[in-house]
Structure 1
Amino acid sequence: MKDFFKNVFATMLGMFLFGVVMSFFGILCIIGIGVASTATNDIKNNSVLVIKLDGQMTEQSEDNIMNKINGISGLSFENTVKAIRKAKDDKNIKGIYIEAGQLGADLAQAEEIQNTLLDFKKSGKWIVAYGEQFSTLSYYISSAADKVYMNKEGMVNWIGIGGEKVYYKNLLAKFGIKFVTTKVGKYKSAVETLTADNMSAADREQTERYLNGWWSTILNTVSKNRDINKDSLNAYADRAIVLEDAENIVKYKMVDGLMYNDEVKSKIKKMLSIDQDETVNQVSVDDMAGSDDATTGKHIAVYYAYGDIVDEASPQSVFSNGHQIVGKDMCKDLQDLANNDDVEAVVIRINSGGGSAYASEQIWHQIAELKKVKPVVVSMSGAAASGGYYISSDANWIVADPSTITGSIGIFGLFEDMSELYTKKLGINYAEVKTNRNSVFGASGHPFTPEQLGLLQNNVNHGYMIFKKRVAEGRHMTLDQVEKIAQGRVWLGEDAVKIKLVDELGGLDKAVAKAAKLAKDTDYKTCSYPAPKSIFEQILNTEQNNYNNLDEHLQMLLGEYYEPFKIISDFEHMDKVQARLPYIIKIK
């Protein structure tokens, strides 16, 4: 009888806790719906669009309901560009105020935003930028403003572009771990961080090319916007003026004046002709971008594909992988777009350094099928290389930004050899039982045999040949012509257009216009795909958000030792044959 009451009590307690949890989710959903419904308020007269260039920029607006509940505004390329364009035509928006900070973005994204701001100025409206600590990219974008102000104790990170590539071969060897690689292409250097102890001449060649190309783009734009000689800008970078007194930054014409935060707000009020005790009507990027009804009827679909290309979504891990292009999911989405009669053409916005060769092939096939029923145009963002180029190659038309990283036509296989760790370091013994010579292919107790390495290399060679064939068919080239520009070599967009890897230089707007032209639609609308996750899906995904936060803390704690642990963690879930870009130095 005693056990009976215990079981009844436990059951009742479980039902009560379940009810509490479900009620909590219900309340969050109701709050979320309320937040979403108020995100499209009418824009008041005499308003200012506020663009906060701080934090990591995503490609697509991810519409994170938890961020909205907490009052956190997301930072996406999609909404930033959309908001600026709508603000240009909205009579209630009088100007744009840029709050510049430590922006993390691709130069291609920054270049398109900067060009959109320059177009905004054609309306006669003003742009004012203010920053306490400008990163190189946030300053680059802010240079389009009519006036650029800085905090009296602020700084501009103007030192050029550079960075370190870290090599872990010797560190891993101390633990008895090594990686065996099979690859095609002398420029296919993604594996070198695990298999070499220094940068190869080929990798240095391509890295210097894209860094110098990026810096040239930044120099030319800032020189034109700020009317500063490029030689002077280079001299400022050499002297690392980021460490100089703020007064010197004004003297160098990098900024127009020094102000505290409250002083620049006072200036904005004067420009709006309102009293100092009045409140400025501020409009966020998300509110401006989402202030109209969803697209209905015939339209051009803009499908965002960004992150690593993977066969299946990675399991939750403290080593977060960020956004991913999941092969199965994207194929399903493309099938749906093909069957959607309202979709007249598809623009695929790609920002990926590649990943799984298998998943890349599946996506390539689905794009080829989609192209049979409606035009497909690719818009390349920061990167569309290796697997990212693989899935681009069969589009009707390819548009790339001049600073896009593309090409890297090559394949590699990466295989771990932990036999020394197991047998010599840990003292584990293995006894094999097998019917054929290679029945225990990849066994833990010994390295790969020469025969097995040869078989792996043949497999990679086969993948490389298929990759080249896809490019040759899509770009109307011979295999020999592809081979001359392949070998895993990375190309800037401005170089890729000269060798016919891309058709045109430009941003997303050019890609959309081309898609509409191919669809013979002169009065087109656009709609973003894939659709954002529902409120309920986001709530159920809060555990992954917790992992993402833990991952950020691990990066700060482990520093340069974070990467080898992440690589080993990722390796367990990674397709062993990859079409992946080498590590790319990011602009800060």
Structure 2
Amino acid sequence: MKFLGNVLAVIVGLLVFSVLSFFILAGIIAIASSSDSDVKIKENTVLVLNLNGRTIVERTNDDDIDLSSFGPFGSAPTIGLMNLKTAINTAKDNENVKGIYLRSGMLFAGQSMLEELRNELQAFRNTGKFIIAYDEIYTESAYFLNSVADEVYLNPQGGIEYNGFSSEIIFFKGLFEKLEIEPVVFRVGEFKSAVEPFLLDKMSEENRLQTTSFLNDLNDYAISKVAESRGIAFDSLKVINSKMLVRKNKDALDYGLVDGLWYEDQVRDLIKEKLGLEEDDKINTINVTTINKNAKAKNRLSKNKIAVIIAEGEIVSGKADGVIASESLVQEINKAKNDKDVRAIVLRVNSPGGSALASEVIWRALGEAKKEKPLIASMSELAASGGYYISAPADTIIAQPNTITGSIGIFGLWFNAEGLLKNKMGITTDVVKTGELSDFLSVTRKLTDIEKSIYQETIEDGYDTFISRVAEGRGMSKEEVLQVAGGRVWSGIQAKENGLVDLLGSLEDAIAIAAEKTEVADDFKVVYYPQQKPWFETLLASLGNDVQSRYMKNKFGDLYPVIHQLEGLKKYEGALYRTPFDIVIK
């Protein structure tokens, strides 16, 4: 059996080596064949934005190779918001591009990112060029984006989801009771409900109140934008939305959400007509990656720089990819601070928060950078709890109306696994210690009263620090901050009303304000931190995690979200500045 195991190991090793060699060779070929020269855009060209099945993130590699195409070794298909905006702007300014064909009925993105993308599409339309949208199925979020088009078409057998927003939370109280695991919670703030899934079997009234409030805000805003684009009265559209009156594809046509129930060949004929082509003529098309090779960086020869630092993901300590790792991000902040050509810093935040300690480390670095040059915060989908904490030092905070922010609070979570170990598994423990608290916070027994008081005091100190940081950054008294804290989550609209946000706007607005504060007028170029890794390095880095993730999804199917959230308990260590739960809006 040992011999057989060795043979299998060699075979697996050779297979992995062969696969990696192929990718290395493909990478070399791609690099060799790539060119920095401009791509010539033909006359009467249409930019095709096919975002179906893709998740929009803040930024991807400039070459934007779809790594999902590499089978089980590829990562999930993503596309960068900034890449998309660059493509749309390039198309807007190029006289050979006459329109955009939007195929984006099943994309995955938060409302704030869709808002920024939608505004870019509207600016494109304002030049007199056309946008045609078509798909077989539209999710509600995707329809919000597609509704900006001049004309929207739906497959005759397709459908539209248009029934308002919902956010569902998974509760684990019953599971822990069955396993005899006792969760012990330490928190400050009546709205700090991140721990509710471990203590309750349904939402608390406070959590239901805040979730209802910001969901209604986001939904009303989305309805207002769709109503404006489609020429439908807001009140009428709200009834259509709230009662889900679009139940069949013909309903979408009757209520004015689409312009026709067409097949794709009919839509292509329409595009040909708009381009003045004959029936047998071919439509010249271009995609995001190709058109971006023709994009010109503004003032690329200018010495003046506006640094945009991307902070996306959970906040953790140390160094890591795919999250906001304090050590890694501080290095990027210091690079921008110490570069004499960087005139101002824009922090682009898309985070639910995380480690209180890591948030403090980042806050300190940003505070020091602010002493040297202007600091502007631009909030994306989510800038809550720790995400708000690191935004607080900014001179100006900008959010989108549908950004989710706030959640100024703190919690800590501890589990007593004695019942699971002893009663379910027959495992007992014993301990020898030199001091009364040498086994502080042991998971194999109940906490003592003194342990609870020490931990709770730590949490309360962390909350006081959070309040102080916000008060200092926002020029508010601690009492004023406490009125909007308590762990409560706000929409961008609400956050502006209560003083947590200065302006509603996009990343470009934040960059413009940064430039204004430095008095460089239009003589600046934008540089992004951290520098993007080559696509091949990104692929290698994603192999382990993504293969495991895909295996788990295939194994557990619809139960995967529950398993994934249970696995996420590993993140709940120490004091946390984090959103009340993993907010997923459907």
TM-score normalised per structure 1: 0.90
Report the Cα offset of residue 276 of structure 1: 2.9
Q: Work out whether 1:205 is the aligned partner of 2:209.
A: yes
Report the Cα offset of residue 66 of structure 1: 5.7
Q: 1:205 to 1:269 in 2, by over 3 A?
A: same
Give 1:558's aligned residue. 556
Amino acid aligned to 2:527: C
8 Å CA contact 1:97, 1:127 repeated in 2? yes
Q: 1:402 to 1:428 in 2, by over 3 A?
A: same
8 Å CA contact 2:317, 2:355 repeated in 1? yes
Give 2:287's aligned residue. 284
Aligned mates of 1:475, 1:424 — CA distance in 2? 52
Give 1:503's aligned residue. 502
Which of 122, 143, 160 is matched with 1:156 structurally?
Answer: 160
Aligned mates of 2:12, 2:267 — CA distance in 1? 56
3-state SS in 1 of match to 2:126:
helix
Q: Work out whether 1:268 is the aligned partner of 2:250.
A: no
Q: 1:440 to 1:585 in 2, by over 3 A?
A: closer
Aligned mates of 1:151, 1:13 — CA distance in 2? 48
Identity of paired residues, percent? 36
Deviates more, 1:27-36 or 1:184-193: 27-36
Give 2:30's aligned residue. 32
Report the Cα offset of residue 299 of structure 1: 2.1
Amino acid aligned to 1:330: L
Give 1:5's aligned residue. none
8 Å CA contact 2:305, 2:527 repeated in 1? yes
Amino acid aligned to 1:76: G
Aligned mates of 2:20, 2:493 — CA distance in 1? 54
Give 2:345's aligned residue. 346
Give 1:319's aligned residue. none
Q: 1:73 to 1:357 in 2, by over 3 A?
A: closer
Report the Cα offset of residue 36 of structure 1: 4.5
Q: 1:584 to 1:159 in 2, by over 3 A?
A: farther
Aligned mates of 1:526, 1:426 — CA distance in 2? 58
Report the Cα offset of residue 96 of structure 1: 1.0
Aligned mates of 2:19, 2:168 — CA distance in 1? 47
8 Å CA contact 1:73, 1:286 repeated in 2? no
Amino acid aligned to 2:361: Q
Give 1:108's aligned residue. 112
Aligned mates of 2:355, 2:282 — CA distance in 1? 52
Give 1:9's aligned residue. none
3-state SS in 2 of match to 1:586:
coil
Amino acid aligned to 1:440: D
Give 2:473's aligned residue. 474
Give 1:514's aligned residue. 513
**Matching of residues 191-340 of structure 1 within 5 Å:** 191-244=195-248, 246-292=249-295, 295-296=300-301, 297-312=303-318, 323-340=322-339
Give 2:543's aligned residue. 543
3-state SS in 1 of match to 2:107:
strand
8 Å CA contact 1:25, 1:539 repeated in 2? no
Report the Cα offset of residue 298 of structure 1: 2.1
3-state SS in 1 of match to 2:136:
strand
Amino acid aligned to 2:304: K
Give 2:527's aligned residue. 527
Q: 1:25 to 1:285 in 2, by over 3 A?
A: closer
In structure 1, the gaps of 5 or more residues are 1-11, 315-321
Which of 171, 187, 190 is matched with 2:191 structurally?
Answer: 187
Aligned mates of 1:577, 1:290 — CA distance in 2? 45
Amino acid aligned to 1:580: R
Aligned mates of 1:46, 1:260 — CA distance in 2? 23
Report the Cα offset of residue 158 of structure 1: 0.5
8 Å CA contact 1:35, 1:69 repeated in 2? no
Report the Cα offset of residue 247 of structure 1: 2.4
Report the Cα offset of residue 323 of structure 1: 2.9
Deviates more, 1:379-388 or 1:530-539: 530-539
Q: 1:264 to 1:411 in 2, by over 3 A?
A: same
3-state SS in 2 of match to 1:392:
coil
Report the Cα offset of residue 237 of structure 1: 2.7
Deviates more, 1:361-370 or 1:521-530: 521-530
Aligned mates of 2:464, 2:376 — CA distance in 1? 24
Give 1:428's aligned residue. 427
Aligned mates of 2:77, 2:43 — CA distance in 1? 22
Which of 552, 560, 568 is matched with 1:570 structurally?
Answer: 568
Deviates more, 1:337-346 or 1:56-65: 56-65
8 Å CA contact 2:319, 2:327 repeated in 1? no
Amino acid aligned to 2:530: P
3-state SS in 1 of match to 2:470:
helix
Report the Cα offset of residue 129 of structure 1: 0.8
3-state SS in 2 of match to 1:101:
coil
Give 1:4's aligned residue. none
How big is each residue's C-alpha offset from its partner over 1:552-588, in whole Å with a ceiling of 9 and x where there is no partner? 4534653564345334433335532110002254344
Give 2:49's aligned residue. 51
In structure 2, the gaps of 5 or more residues are 1-9, 71-75
Q: 1:114 to 1:26 in 2, by over 3 A?
A: closer
Aligned mates of 2:45, 2:233 — CA distance in 1? 35
Aligned mates of 2:62, 2:422 — CA distance in 1? 50
* Paired residue total: 567
Q: 1:578 to 1:381 in 2, by over 3 A?
A: same
3-state SS in 1 of match to 2:392:
coil
Report the Cα offset of residue 281 of structure 1: 1.7
Give 2:3's aligned residue. none
Give 2:95's aligned residue. 91
Aligned mates of 1:23, 1:426 — CA distance in 2? 46
3-state SS in 1 of match to 2:334:
helix
3-state SS in 2 of match to 1:541:
helix
8 Å CA contact 2:191, 2:580 repeated in 1? no
Q: Work out whether 1:174 is the aligned partner of 2:178.
A: yes
How big is each residue's C-alpha offset from its partner over 1:73-116, in whole Å with a ceiling of 9 and x where there is no partner? 84221112222222211111101111122121111111121122
Aligned mates of 1:354, 1:412 — CA distance in 2? 12
Q: 1:564 to 1:70 in 2, by over 3 A?
A: closer
How big is each residue's C-alpha offset from its partner over 1:288-339, in whole Å with a ceiling of 9 and x where there is no partner? 334235645322122211111111356xxxxxxx931111100001111112
Q: 1:39 to 1:228 in 2, by over 3 A?
A: farther
8 Å CA contact 1:441, 1:452 repeated in 2? yes
Give 2:134's aligned residue. 130
8 Å CA contact 1:379, 1:398 repeated in 2? yes
Q: 1:585 to 1:13 in 2, by over 3 A?
A: closer
Give 1:405's aligned residue. 404
Amino acid aligned to 1:60: R
Aligned mates of 1:359, 1:73 — CA distance in 2? 29
Give 2:369's aligned residue. 370
CA RMSD of aligned residues (A): 2.7
How big is each residue's C-alpha offset from its partner over 1:485-526, in whole Å with a ceiling of 9 and x where there is no partner? 111111111111122211111111111110000111111322
Aligned mates of 2:12, 2:412 — CA distance in 1? 49
3-state SS in 1 of match to 2:497:
coil
Deviates more, 1:203-212 or 1:440-449: 440-449
8 Å CA contact 1:46, 1:93 repeated in 2? yes
Amino acid aligned to 1:538: T
How big is each residue's C-alpha offset from its partner over 1:349-406, in whole Å with a ceiling of 9 and x where there is no partner? 1111101111110111111111111111111011111000000000111101111111
Amino acid aligned to 1:275: E
Report the Cα offset of residue 551 of structure 1: 1.9
Aligned mates of 1:13, 1:216 — CA distance in 2? 58
8 Å CA contact 2:83, 2:288 repeated in 1? yes
Q: 1:442 to 1:39 in 2, by over 3 A?
A: farther
Deviates more, 1:72-81 or 1:406-415: 72-81
Give 1:3's aligned residue. none
Q: 1:400 to 1:224 in 2, by over 3 A?
A: same
Aligned mates of 2:174, 2:20 — CA distance in 1? 52
Report the Cα offset of residue 230 of structure 1: 2.6
Amino acid aligned to 2:253: V
